[in-house]
């Protein structure tokens, strides 16, 4: 298995305002490897270090020590992101642009030739069912439509690795189904998908392997079958691993 996403002893510390500028450890030596063609679920409770890991991989925050690479290139190099697509949890796009203009902008960023960009934009607008609204400003879109634009932009460069941050958060059942379909399709095409989610049922359905982080440390990694061995389902295994034995609710 060729690792296309790798972190070694990844440590991230930052000064917390809440803690009167004391150092807070967000990640404490995370070792992670994701192989080509895998659908990899990245799980953990809130504050576990999932978003920090993604932020490191995407070059948003600096790492304190250790290393992180994509396709063997240090994540601090912008070129490491040439073959990835990223879908944030919420829609953060230029809302004065139309969907077509936004996709064209990102196509230019990736250096796609005009005819190639035209073809790719048409394909993606069809895929996310936004052809009818392609020339309308994004600010006039519903939340679901904006999420679909997000999905389209994450695929503009036909990425080999797709990083999804809570991809189905806030989506209606149809939207969730669409995202699952797309993940499935990418998997069939041999693409790698790395995603964080709190929807454990969904993770169980689509993932080849999962990792569970808690308090900045990797607690478990393996196939879904390996993680759930001896447990009723992934949710029970997850709760056991992060140290919650019983539900506080009756």
Partner 1 sequence: MNKIFALAGVVIKELYRRKDFYVLFVLTALLTLAAGAVNFFHDDKIVRYVKDICLLLIWVSALVISVVTTARQIPAEREARTIFPLLAKPVSRWHVIVGKFLGCWLATGVALVVFYFFFAAITGSKEQIWPWGAYLEAVWMHWVMLAIVIAMVLLGSIYFAAPSSTSTITIIVVGGVLLLGTHLNTIALQQPQPMQSILATVYFLMPHLEWYDLRDFVVYDMGLVPVRAVALATLYGAVWTAIFLLLAWFGFRRKSLNT
Catalog residues that contact partner 1 under the rule CB under 8 A: 58-61, 78-82, 84, 86, 88, 90, 92-97, 101, 105-106, 108-111, 150, 153, 163
Q: How far apart are CA 93 and CA 215, in angstroms?
A: 31
67: burial class by Cβ within 10 Å (0-12, 13-18, 19+)? middle
Q: Strand 192-196 to strand 3-16: parallel, antiparallel, or no bridges (unpaired)?
A: unpaired
Which of 108/236 has CB closer to partner 1? 108
- C-alpha Rg value of the chain to the nearest Å: 19
Q: How far apart are CA 36 and CA 3, in angstroms?
A: 6
Q: How far is the CB of 191 from partner 1 (least distance, A)?
A: 16
Q: How far apart are CA 105 and CA 91, in angstroms?
A: 16
CA distances to 122, 125, 137, 182, 192 from 119, in Å: 5, 10, 21, 19, 23
Q: How far is the CB of 19 from partner 1 (least distance, A)?
A: 16
Q: How far is the CB of 55 from partner 1 (least distance, A)?
A: 9
Which of 33/101 has CB closer to partner 1? 101
Which of 34/84 has CB closer to partner 1? 84
Q: How far is the CB of 92 from partner 1 (least distance, A)?
A: 4
Which of 169/205 has CB closer to partner 1? 169
Which of 138/171 has CB closer to partner 1? 138
Q: How far is the CB of 180 from partner 1 (least distance, A)?
A: 22
């Amino acid at each position: 298995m060729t690792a296309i996403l790798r972190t070694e002893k990844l440590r991230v510390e930052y000064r917390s305002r809440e803690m009167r500028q004391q150092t807070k450890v967000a990640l404490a030596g995370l070792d992670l490897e994701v192989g080509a063609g895998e659908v990899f679920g990245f799980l953990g409770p809130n504050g576990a270090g999932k978003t920090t890991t993604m932020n490191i991989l995407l070059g948003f925050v600096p790492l304190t020590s250790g290393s992180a690479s994509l396709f063997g290139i240090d994540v601090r190099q912008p070129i490491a992101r040439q073959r990835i697509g990223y879908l944030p949890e919420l829609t953060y796009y230029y809302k004065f642009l139309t969907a077509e203009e936004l996709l064209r902008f990102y196509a230019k960023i990736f250096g796609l030739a005009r005819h190639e960009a035209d073809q790719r934009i048409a394909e993606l607008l069809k895929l996310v069912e936004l052809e009818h609204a392609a020339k309308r400003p994004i600010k006039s879109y519903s939340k679901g439509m904006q999420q679909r634009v997000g999905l389209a932009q994450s695929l503009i460069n036909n990425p080999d690795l797709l990083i999804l941050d809570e991809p189905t958060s806030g989506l209606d059942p149809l939207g969730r189904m669409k995202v699952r379909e797309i993940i499935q399709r990418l998997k069939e095409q041999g693409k790698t998908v790395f995603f964080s989610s709190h929807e454990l049922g969904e993770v169980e359905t689509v993932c080849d392997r999962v990792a569970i982080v808690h308090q900045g440390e990797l607690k478990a990694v393996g196939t879904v079958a390996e993680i759930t061995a001896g447990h009723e389902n992934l949710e029970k295994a997850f709760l056991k691993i992060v140290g919650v034995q019983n539900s506080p609710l009756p």
